[in-house]
Structure 1
Amino acid sequence: MDLDPSTLPNDIAALKAIILGDRARRSDTEAYIAHLKLQIEKLKRALYGPKAERTARLLDQMELELEDLETTATEDELRAEQVAAKAKTTTVAGFTRKRPSRQPFPEHLPRERVVLPGPTQCACCGGSRLAKLGETVTETLESIPRQYKVIQHVREKFTCRDCEKISQEPAPFHTIPRAFAGPGLLAMIAYDKFGQHQPLNRQSERFALEGIHLSVSTLADLIGATCVALEPVFKHIETMVFAGARLHGDDTTVPVMARGQTDTARVWAYVRDDRPFGGSGSPCAVFYYSRDRAGVHPQTHLAGYRGIFQADAYGGYNKLYELNRSPGPIIEAACWSHARRKFFELADIAQNAKRKAQGKTPAFVAPMALAAVQRIDALFEIERAINGQSPAERLAVRQQLGAPLVAELEIWMRAERAKLSRHNDVAKAIDYMLNRWSSFARFLIDGRICLSNNAAERALRTLALGRKSWLFAGSDRGGQRAAMLYSLITTAKMNNVDPQAWLADILARIASHPVASIEKLMPWNWTPQSRALAA
């Protein structure tokens, strides 16, 4: 801001107001520039697709930076207004940051009307003959702290004057026998632990601050009883997952407590998601825990399955693809995202630029790896256009547009591989694909197959995000309980259902719900009990 020294006031408070106003304008400008940069990156991603594996991570980082800048800008703006008001000066020009338009609050939220008393006389002439013209409503979203209540089930006793027998209504069904916790409290504890990654010791501290003393051992007892109550739901989801004609599979590490140290265990995810090819099956996921990564675990999980299996090239899956396997062979469909990642790591230009800016020696960027990434990206671009269409429609487009690109890619890879040593990193990435080429090209003959295994990786994100919060699983049994509840929470999210509300509702119903009708409680068929009664 250009200032004329002759126009500056001599009052110290007024000078402070000018300085703070200039700081507020700079903060607003920086926040607005960051907002525009973020919008540009999002538009680039929408227009050209993700050009790099780390594009989403870059957008997340930019959003965090924008959040900090906007917070600083608002703080500086309010402080400048306060100082200007105290100084009673008008020398500071106001600057209003362009903020996004506020969307109306959801209609289902309850409204509380606070009616301010109207004037009793005219502010202009002082007259008392006033008539109501209308009203102006300003809505403010408010938060109410968690509320608790004790429900007393009163069963009156009656005695018969004729036979002197006592009559009384039977006790209502409880989610947990002889337990003091209601279904809403059980669902909140379970979802906070496995959905929001809040360990039980932190939850116990939070309850204590709210005046309710629940020890960690008590909360652990409730979690164990909740798992027992929800086991029929988990078993039904498990059945639905393995009834699909196509599955996604993946695994991730889980630290587990051991004697004097922590061991690295595994959680296996199997996902059924027929939405990419317009299938009628509901999306669902199931998780399993194991102490190690031995191949016997996925072979046990998939012992009764036959169909298409999309996964990485883990050697433990090989026995599943044998032709003489009972009840039948599993058809392997390789993941192009895994293959692309091996080339991308050798052609990460952005990472090299970062290393150069930090003064580190940049790694070698392989032109051959960059060319492979660009060829594979062309296939993903075709897949985005046919996502959600029927298998026949997807197959027709793939045969017309994708098959020539795949044929050219194979010819190019075999020609370039002949020029490379077997110890070359690019050669290893090429061999990864050529050794499994029939599995990679299988999507050209079956419209149900996806190009990537990202569905399983998205399911495992629920667990990966919480690993740093809970550090490790307490035991093998704890890992098994976590896998079960991750299955329920992830399935609810895949069906756009609030996991905590769903868990609370089915915990309230499941004790008296017939096992034969368990399908009605599944997330894809679920209707809240209050809404069902209203209907």
Structure 2
Amino acid sequence: MTGQEELLMLRALVEKQKEELAAKDDIIAKQNIRIENMVQALLQARKKLFGSSTETSRNLDGQLSLFEKTQELAKELFGEQQKITVPSHTRKARQPGVRQEMLAGLPKEIEEYIIGPDDSCVKCGGALTVIGKRIVRTEVTYEPPKLKVKQIVQQIAKCTQCGKEGSENPKDHFQKAAIPVPVLPHSIATPSLVAQVMYQKFAMGMPFARQEKDWYRLGLILSRSNMANWTNRCSEEWLTSVYERILAELRTCEVLHMDETRIQCNREEGRKANSESYMWVIRSAACETIRAVFFHYSPTRKGEIARQLLSGFHGYLTTDAYAAYEQVENIRRNLCWSHCRRYFIDSIPLTSNGKEIPGSKGAEGRAYIDLLFKIENEIKDLPYEEIREKRLERSRPILDAFWSWVDEIAAIPTTNKKLTKALNYSKNQKKYLETFLEDGRLPISNNLCEASIKPFATGRRAWLFADSPKGATANAVLYTLVESARANELNVFEYLNYLLTEIPNSDYLHQPEVLEKYLPWSQELPEVCRLNHNYKKCLK
């Protein structure tokens, strides 16, 4: 081999090594991007788990100056328009009389300490004369609940004429006094006891296992299996009729919210115990005359379930971007801007201590959406037709600027996968994200429905799963009644107690119209079912 050939071989070897090094550098760069994306995903997950749950934007030091385009747009849009004057809010000191108003609905007793006839002056020993009294302090005491045994005694009478010679009825006749129908025959259960079991689990999030210990403390051995059986039977026999009526009334609305959340059902036929099932939730919009929340259990998340639930509904449906809702007929979809906003929030890079890194495109996208929510907050009290006009006048230019920004940023290559996801989501759902401009009644987000789901999601952390499909269905019935009662400012325990007392003694099977007075928004509900207005004023 000549020297020239050796030189060519060495050059070829060097070129090959350069190519291999470049390929390795490319692999390392991709791995670094991957690692950074994984680190950001971990930081975002830690922020969701341990950070603040509020979605309210906060002004970070030095951040606003990075969004000059957004700021200029806001100044241009808001500066030349006539704005609605919103008075600034300053927190006032507690006004005199608020405590008295709050305590006005509670029973009172006076505990008086007197000066005895044998008492004398501690200074000189002289006799004392009572000259008046003064209230030293006002306290609220807690009396633990009490259980008592109630025996139902039925009087029996014998007819003085039947059985006598010449009587129309030759046999003796015994007549029993009328008694109310029990909520569960051959059981110690009463409406109040079952209502308290239901209230503790479905309104307060206390699973049956914890209630078991509390009932034992009160002197009653009440197993979790008994409580589960009572709940399943009462929901199936007495409460399902009201539950189904609520769904029928929701279908008559013109604007609805809908969402779904997971639930685990252990003994679902043909499925593993750890399989995920779903709780579908429908909520009437704020513009509707009825305030109702409906939960429905289903083993699947198929669009057929949504189509069945909304059969007969014609109107606007506010949801997330889940494609299953496309199977629902005769609706106009209105997508939630809060969901879109969350994608941009998730794309904002974080420091190792969970703080946002200023200057990100994700924060800039969030800033655009915040402008939409700011407008909604300013116009929320206007008539619906004026809201629609204000949206076209003020929100439309922001939307146009936002879509231009999305197209501009999407054209720039980025290693931030979550930012790419947020941009693609926005572009793909543009049509439905703009639906809220069509009607002033339409909400800009699905937050109202999510607020109704939150108690269910919080309770699920405690009770973890439903043991059977029957139990999961009972969950749906009870959460429907509890959340609908809350939406109508009812006392949840008293409402459940009223239903379990009245429905068994009504002829609702032959006269379905009687169910009208049992619906959560009915004006015929007794006053005991309604929250005390003094309490609500003080809680504001």
Partner of 2:293: 285
AA in 2 matched with 1:265 = S
Does the aligned pair in 1 maintain the 2:258–2:282 contact within 8 Å?
yes
Q: 2:280 aligns with which of 252, 268, 288?
A: 268
Mapping 1:268-347, distance limit 5 Å:
268-274=280-286, 279-320=287-328, 325=329, 329-347=330-348
Q: Deviations over 1:49-85 (max 9, x none)?
A: 92069xxxxxxxxxxxxxxxxxxxxxxxxxxxxxxxx
- The structure 2 residue matched to 1:198, chosen from 192, 198, 206, is 206
What is the DSSP-based 3-state SS (H/G/I as helix, E as strand, rest coil) of the residue aligned with 1:267?
strand
Residue 126 of structure 1 and its aligned partner are, at CA, apart by: 4.1
Q: Which amino acid aligns with 2:216?
A: A
CA RMSD of aligned residues (A): 3.0
Q: Say if 1:270 and 1:285, in contact at 8 Å, map to a contact too.
A: yes
Corresponding residue for residue 78 of structure 1: none
Is 1:51 the counterpart of 2:51 in the alignment?
Answer: no
Q: What pairs with 1:132-531 in structure 2 (closer than 5 Å)?
A: 132-163=131-162, 165-227=173-235, 228-257=237-266, 261-274=273-286, 279-320=287-328, 325=329, 329-347=330-348, 351-352=350-351, 354-355=353-354, 367-420=360-413, 424-513=417-506, 514=508, 515-525=512-522, 529=526
Amino acid in the other structure paired with 1:305: F
Task: Quote the offset at 1:492 in angstroms.
Answer: 1.0
* Whole-angstrom CA distance in 1 between matches of 2:462 and 2:357: 36
Compute the TM-score of the two structures, normalised by the length of structure 1.
0.72
Task: Give 3-state SS (helix, strand or coil) of 1:181's partner.
Answer: coil
Q: 1:509 to 1:475 in 2, by over 3 A?
A: same
Q: State yes or no: 1:109 paired with 2:102.
A: no
TM-score, with normalisation over the residues of structure 2? 0.72
Distance 1:525 1:306 in 2: 24
In structure 2, the gaps of 5 or more residues are: 1-51, 60-93, 164-172, 530-540
Secondary structure of the corresponding residue to residue 301 of structure 2: coil
Give the 3 Å change call, closer, same or farther, for CA 531–247 of structure 1 in structure 2: closer
**Over residues 113-150 of structure 1, what are the superposed CA-to-partner deviations in whole Å (9 max), with x where a residue is unaligned?**
22212243444554436143233242222111121122
1:340, distance to aligned residue in structure 2 (A): 0.8
2:252 partner letter: A
Moved more, 390-399 or 370-379: 390-399
Cα distance in 2 between the residues matched to 1:531 and 1:492: 13
Q: 1:28 maps to which residue?
A: none
- Answer with 1 or 2: which has the greater Rg: 2
Q: How many residues get paired?
A: 423
Counterpart residue type for residue 468 of structure 2: S
Q: Deviations over 1:195-217 (max 9, x none)?
A: 22333233223222322122333
Distance in 2, matches of 1:132 and 1:233, equals 61
Name the structure, 1 or 2, with higher relative contact order (CA <8 Å, separation 6+): 2
Q: State the 1:285 CA deviation.
A: 0.8
Does the 8 Å CA contact 2:263/2:277 hold for their aligned counterparts?
yes
| Whole-angstrom CA distance in 2 between matches of 1:505 and 1:157 | 29
Match of 2:3 in 1: none
**Matched residue SS, 1:352:** coil
Structure 1 contact 346–364 (Cα < 8 Å) conserved:
no
Q: Which deviations, in whole Å up to 9, do the C-alpha atoms of 1:432-482 show, x marking residues without a partner?
A: 112221211121121111111111211111111022211222122221111
Deviation at 1:271, TM superposition (A): 0.6
Question: Aligned partner of 1:334: which letter?
Answer: L
Q: Which moved more, 1:166-175 or 1:264-273?
A: 166-175
For the residues of structure 2 that align with 1:100 and 1:354, how far apart are their CA atoms?
42
Q: 1:152 to 1:132 in 2, by over 3 A?
A: farther
- The question of whether the paired residues in 2 share the 8 Å contact of 1:346 and 1:366 is answered with no
Q: Is the 8 A contact 1:347 1:366 kept in 2?
A: no
- TM-superposed CA distance for 1:182, in Å, is 1.2
Q: Is the 8 A contact 1:290 1:297 kept in 2?
A: yes
Between stretches 175-184 and 334-343, larger displacement belongs to 175-184
Q: Which runs of 5+ in 1 are unaligned?
A: 1-41, 54-98, 357-362
In 1, Cα distance between equivalents of 2:131 and 2:272: 76
